[in-house]
Structure 1
């Protein structure tokens, strides 16, 4: 079945070679994104992060991300809700027309959020994406952003960069509706927000101690885990295999994401307590109907060619082709015969076998 599985047609002889590196999987990517856009409108809180489809083989756009648990693979940029529902995704292929070049991170954000700008969504991102310039662009489109920030980003205030802080202290500066701050926990953490002020909020940690942190950091920790949640749920029942071709691996990953989205939306709108395992069984049962009777057996008069076994020394035993000798008046030897026919005639595997049985 894997040999017959394809998601797009290869170009015919004489047709130009596709320039899209994802042409083998593009119809499935577009189907996922279009189906989610047509079916479901997300809540206010969204997060954007990358995920990896494991791949260690040779591939032009294979990625290596040092701080990931699985370091090698095909990188996906994903927008999710906090519960792990995948709203939209893109596969990074290193092509310039694929978010590549200058401003790559900002281009990814604007592309994935294009359907949800101008309506007041809040997007949570890590320091790979966040910058002052991107925050201004999103704010102009009535979209809020919050997350961690690299202190060496352009337009980061000098006071925020250089200020020495003690544990628990914070510093922040505001400009054009954008907050850029730094907080000292075990180490310095820089952050940016266009939605929240720099007030400190009290919370309880894992051992019920009261702690404090800036509101942007608190909200970021609360809503940023959508992609991690998706990866966790998908890891329970993986279907990808190491020997798959790269595009089939992405294809199965997309089908897994579709199945997970269906499960999360089913739970959201029905308040069902069904487990993801039972949900998968229900889906499989709906796609594969039960058999209504015994499987049909082979007809007794079915003819199949059989090849003589290899001899210890030399080739397999061969005899002259009956059809070639009697009809075509030539001699050709073959090691294939039909054991279902009378006298088990030897027949060439090309058209002789078919023509002989048509004349029976």
Structure 2
């Protein structure tokens, strides 16, 4: 990987290929570290395996000039490198894949390709477990649900109105006029896919091959006419989606609280420091899941103190420096042991001589 990152500045076409290889090398390094952490966490330490995780995009802060830098309006971090991340409900990062642009070779859409690749990498570590994936409107499609269902993976996510394969749900315009909490659903028995349309402040469409409408949950929303919070019906698929979808946002919040502020000269230094932050976040969550009552700040301080004790040099006493400091005063005068008395006058300070 180091050889890939130290390539010079070739022509424009070759530069694009070099940048792609650099990003691929960093993505391979990231997934390798996260895979090792997952195996240590769940296999050797016997930590509880999270069945549900969400997939979303995350931004790595970067303000320099680079072809892979992205700008996403409305994000807490607007400028930087984009990474596709799979994270649990509490923000434990399972996999991360750096976005490499349109140069990626794929035969399906970008959203379906991202969810499939991240899910398959998780299944490689734990092939016998059944996982539930939650994703937003950018990734969800009926073909994705059918494809992952064959691999023993359940998918739940919001979908666009025109991507439900002509499912005979109620029309959006007429459905908006119905009271809040109204819902409509259809079930595809061949692929076991449930399509749900729910009317809240806006009409939301969800697809799932794991959850359905029942049992009906209750959600509290503010009513403008009644001037108070009221309870409305909420399908179970919406409740489960709201519960498990925010894992990547939780990861960004955990990393953003105590982010490493070192700014290196290389463009990939921000990715490496982000990877260290993610690793510390996963370790802190693991420690708390095993019974340790320690917050993130105290956990980072413990890591720093232990690293200094193991790899740091011992602190020298004041005045006992190994290298002599330059001085114009002879050594015999500086170390003869006599005390010097300073007399303070109104004009200036003078030496009164040696005090016996």
**TM > 0.5 between the two?**
yes
| Structure with the higher fraction of residues in helix conformation | 2
Mapped to 1, the partners of 2:141 and 2:249 lie a distance apart of: 23
Query: Are 1:177 and 2:192 counterparts?
Result: yes
CA drift of 1:169 comes to 1.3
Q: Does 1:281 align with 2:301?
A: yes
**Offset of 1:138 from its aligned partner?**
1.2
- The answer on 1:220 being equivalent to 2:221 is no
TM-score by length of 2: 0.73
1:27–1:8 Cα change, 3 Å: farther
Q: Tell me whether 1:35 sits opposite 2:59 in the alignment.
A: no
Instruction: Give unmatched runs, 5+ long, in structure 1.
Output: 1-6, 303-360
Query: What does residue 278 of structure 2 align with?
Result: 257
Name the structure, 1 or 2, with higher relative contact order (CA <8 Å, separation 6+): 2
Query: Which of 115, 118, 122 is equivalent to 2:132?
Result: 122
Counterpart of 1:341?
Answer: none
Is the CA contact (8 Å cut-off) linking 1:240 and 1:249 kept in structure 2? Answer: no
Contact 2:89–2:247 under 8 Å retained in 1: yes
Aligned length: 293
Contact 2:31 2:96 (C-alpha < 8 Å) held by counterparts: no
Q: 2:112 aligns with which of 96, 106, 113?
A: 106
Q: Is the 8 A contact 1:120 1:143 kept in 2?
A: yes
The Cα of 1:11 is off from its aligned counterpart by 5.6
Counterpart in the other structure of 2:181 = 168
Equivalent-residue separation in structure 1 for 2:137 and 2:28 (angstroms): 32
Deviates more, 1:79-88 or 1:233-242: 233-242
What TM-score does the superposition give when structure 1 sets the normalisation length?
A: 0.72
Tell me what 1:49 maps to. Answer: 56
**Structure 2 spans left out of the alignment, 5+ residues:** 43-48, 223-227, 327-356
Residues 209 and 255 from structure 1, CA distance in 2 versus in 1: closer, same or farther, beyond 3 angstroms?
A: same
Equivalent-residue separation in structure 1 for 2:167 and 2:294 (angstroms): 50
1:59 aligns with 2:60: no
Cα distance in 1 for residues equivalent to 2:242 and 2:159: 14
Q: Give the Cα–Cα distance (whole angstroms) in 1 for the partners of residues 70 and 250 of structure 2.
A: 22
Distance in 2 (CA, whole Å) between partners of 1:251 and 1:226 is: 21
Contact kept? 1:132, 1:156, Cα under 8 Å: no
Which residue number in structure 2 is paired with residue 327 of structure 1? none
Distance 1:293 1:71 in 2: 42
Q: Secondary structure at the match of 1:266?
A: helix
Alignment map for 1:193-342 (pairs within 5 Å): 193-199=208-214, 200-204=216-220, 209-240=230-261, 245-269=266-290, 271-289=291-309, 292-294=314-316, 297-300=321-324
Which deviations, in whole Å up to 9, do the C-alpha atoms of 1:45-71 show, x marking residues without a partner? 111111111224322122222342332
Structure 2 distance, partners of 1:142, 1:262, is 28
